[in-house]
Structure 1
Amino acid sequence: MNLSMESQAPAIQAQNWIGGEPLANCQPGKVYVLEFFSTTCGFCVGPMLNLIQLQEKYRDRGLEVVGVAAEERAATADEAQANLEAWLTEKVPRLNFRVGIDCTGEMKKLWKEASFSFGLPCSFVVDRDSRIAFIGHPTELDDVLPKVLDGSWRSSDQAKAADRKRIAKGREDVFLSKISAAVKLKDWKTALSAIEEGIALLPDSLQLRMAHAHLLLLKMRDMQTGLAVLRQLVRDAIDRNAEDWLLGLLSQLFGPKYDDMDFPSVERLAMGKELSEHILALTGLKDEVKASYYRAVAPYYYESGNKARAEELLELALKVGDGVPVPDNIKQLWLNDVLQTLANYKGEKVSHGALWAAPKENVPNGATPKAEKKNPA
């Protein structure tokens, strides 16, 4: 059974409960959030704490939050419960909703696998008609819940678009998992078959399209077919003018994975030129997009021999990136990466505000003083 928006909510098949009475089914007239989490999931604590606040905020409007521990790693159900109780006491001490424990795999099968949901944490919202209204990451609940509670969410274009995107991502993950398993076994035929099947079903999947080129070029060493696939992917990225496609293709062309293979340099630089010139001609971009683009196209100019232009673009990325409104820790990591690349290109110590970097040797993509001799400005 496939589970998506509009589906009737499945049964709740938990064997043990913490913090409340057993619940077998979602009751009409109430709105439920079923939160799948695990004590081994490092990203689950924050959402659980936020759910405490949401339960308190919307309790009077008929919300009931239910935690679901369906992926505990324990030898017995009793051990799973003991581990979970200790984890909740430490991490979620003010728990105000019940938590069900399932060690049979039924909840995972009925809810997560049926909806192509594979990661943790994962939230399911069931509306007052006992139908699935939302499946996704708990960070989206602050926006979604009020609309589910007032009955406007499920019929909205936003909800339908979100569910289509989620289903496509879930199907993509299924194919990527099959591909990964085949690649580990060096079963190129099975991997290629899975990729081709996935692309036929999901032609808009950048991950599958890039995996196709990666497999042909790096694993199967089929340069003729692989280059044709990559050329088409570059053209499609430009036609779509989508940021993730453009950045993804530049990363694939100039990332370290192609350094030790017989990838024709002329072909790679020609594709890099086409992408880079298209990107730099774009106008009306937000600063965060500009900064990402400047960083992404710099390796093309460095490898093509235009060292001065590569350095100029990295300096522009640093300047524009300063004003991007992102958390300081994320910004600093990004600035450090750009500054380090600039130091490698220049072959000397560089600084930006309080940050500085010295050049490193043996860096992929010729970003070292040694490689500069091969790629003179």
Structure 2
Amino acid sequence: MTSSLNSGSPAPSINVQHWLRGDPLSNFQFGKTYILEFISTTCSSCGPSLSQLAQLQEEYSDIGIEVIGIAANEWAATADEALAQVDAWVTKWLPNANIRIAFDYSGEMDKDWKKASLTFQVPQAFVVDRAGSIAFIGDPDMLEVVLPKVMDGSWLASAQAKNAEEERIAEAEIKAPERALHRRIRAAAEIEDWKSALSAIEEGINLFPDNIMFHQRHVSTLIGSMRDMEAGWIALGQFARTAIERNSEDWLSAAMQQLFGWYDYSGLPSAERFSMGKELSERILKLYQQHDAPLRSYSYQTIALYYHESGDNGRAVDLLEQALRFLDGESLPEVEKHEQMAQLLHTLAEYKGEQVCYGGICVAPRKQC
């Protein structure tokens, strides 16, 4: 698999089915610089990223920079449902949108831009220069460094651009076999062919033991989809032991999330599950003490699930209240902070069994039927 769309390539045309915001645009205007950002409503960082690019467009409006958000990877039963998802998402994140937002469910934009460049994650930025060529493909966070050099014409010929492009292509080629396995798993899961899905997942674990997603999918398929509690417990136990051996925050938190909160655990050995949760929570607390507020807030929310289920509701409430304070002190886009606060407060209200308020947001527990 090779990349056919690279820095210096002519930019493909914009073939989309709907323009949700702004006037339609099919061809790039010479003399203007465009930033296309591919986004998805299920991507947690896409909203803040596109909001920042909207601000960037305002800052550079006098020199002809235009930002276009592209939703071309929505998962929904129909195109209309996917379109409604994107429209609601844009309304939430960009209520006063001053940038074009395009939607495509046909697969053309995905094929011509992302697959052609071997880029599969979101958010993903493509910069089209004044001559209509691709100047940059990569993480939107790099635009602060890249964009001024694109504007003065020095970027494409620079060693930094060459190195960035070589690294992008090399990484994509390395990850191509992993992506092929993920596609096999997704295709099998869509038709509920769990035997084939499980075979691809186990192949992924063997070939790519450092990829946490295969381990997560292993547990979720066995316990959540197949309800094979015996095999699922073995997989879950192995996942937790691997996380403990690695002593990695990401792995420990992921294992804790698999142990508490997502499934019907009635068929699993309760004492062993809580014992495993205790060890994971102690390790997570020790590791995350060294980190900044956002990571500590996230870790406390994860651990609170264990304490609540194990009967120490007071400890769970204390952790959630600390998580709220950590989150409140962070400099985040207002929409993102409000959403995270609301989610935390919903859980806190359930644990306390009463209405809770923080930062002007009040949430009551759900009524029991």
In the superposition, the TM-score normalised over structure 1's length comes to 0.65
Q: Does 1:142 align with 2:144?
A: yes
Q: C-alpha separation between the residues in 1 aligned to 2:126 and 2:178?
A: 20
Deviations 1:70-94 (A, max 9, x none): 99x99xxxxxxxxxxxxxxxx9999
Contact 2:69 2:99 in 1 (8 A): no
Q: Shift in Å at residue 108 of structure 1?
A: 5.4
Q: Give the direction of change, closer, same or farther, for the CA distance of 1:8–1:333 in structure 2 (3 Å limit).
A: closer
2:2 match? 2
Deviations 1:309-351 (A, max 9, x none): 1122122222222212212222222222222222222223333
| 1:152 aligned to which of 134, 150, 159 | 159
Q: Does 1:116 align with 2:118?
A: yes
Give the letter aligned to residue 350 of structure 2.
N
Q: Shift in Å at residue 111 of structure 1?
A: 4.7
Q: C-alpha separation between the residues in 2 aligned to 1:270 and 1:357?
A: 32
Q: Give the direction of change, closer, same or farther, for the CA distance of 1:22–1:165 in structure 2 (3 Å limit).
A: closer
Deviations 1:260-281 (A, max 9, x none): x523322322221121110111
Q: Give the direction of change, closer, same or farther, for the CA distance of 1:196–1:340 in structure 2 (3 Å limit).
A: same
Q: C-alpha separation between the residues in 2 aligned to 1:64 and 1:336?
A: 33
1:266 match? 271
Q: Shift in Å at residue 244 of structure 1?
A: 3.6
Give the letter aligned to residue 152 of structure 1.
A
1:83 match? none
2:21 match? none
3-state DSSP class of the match of 2:344?
helix
Q: Does 1:279 align with 2:284?
A: yes
Question: Where do 1:67-82 residues align within 5 Å?
Answer: none
Q: Does 1:236 align with 2:242?
A: yes
Q: C-alpha separation between the residues in 2 aligned to 1:57 and 1:242?
A: 47
Worse-matched range after superposition: 333-342 or 170-179:
170-179
Matched length: 332
Q: Shift in Å at residue 210 of structure 1?
A: 0.4
- Tell me how large the CA RMSD over aligned residues is: 5.1
Contact 1:321 1:335 in 2 (8 A): yes
Give the letter aligned to residue 249 of structure 1.
A
Deviations 1:292-318 (A, max 9, x none): 111110110111121221122122222
3-state DSSP class of the match of 2:137?
strand
Q: Shift in Å at residue 68 of structure 1?
A: 10
| 2:187 aligned to which of 158, 181, 189 | 181
Q: Does 1:306 align with 2:308?
A: no
1:294 match? 300
Q: Give the direction of change, closer, same or farther, for the CA distance of 1:145–1:254 in structure 2 (3 Å limit).
A: same
3-state DSSP class of the match of 2:160?
coil
Q: Give the direction of change, closer, same or farther, for the CA distance of 1:192–1:276 in structure 2 (3 Å limit).
A: same
Q: C-alpha separation between the residues in 2 aligned to 1:67 and 1:346?
A: 41
Contact 2:14 2:25 in 1 (8 A): no
Q: Shift in Å at residue 216 of structure 1?
A: 1.8
Deviations 1:197-219 (A, max 9, x none): 33344333222220111112222
Show structure 2 runs of 5+ residues with no match.
16-23, 80-95
Show structure 1 runs of 5+ residues with no match.
24-29, 75-90, 96-101, 364-377
Give the letter aligned to residue 146 of structure 2.
V
Contact 1:287 1:324 in 2 (8 A): yes
3-state DSSP class of the match of 2:263?
helix
Q: C-alpha separation between the residues in 2 aligned to 1:238 and 1:120?
A: 30
Contact 2:204 2:214 in 1 (8 A): yes
In the superposition, the TM-score normalised over structure 2's length comes to 0.66
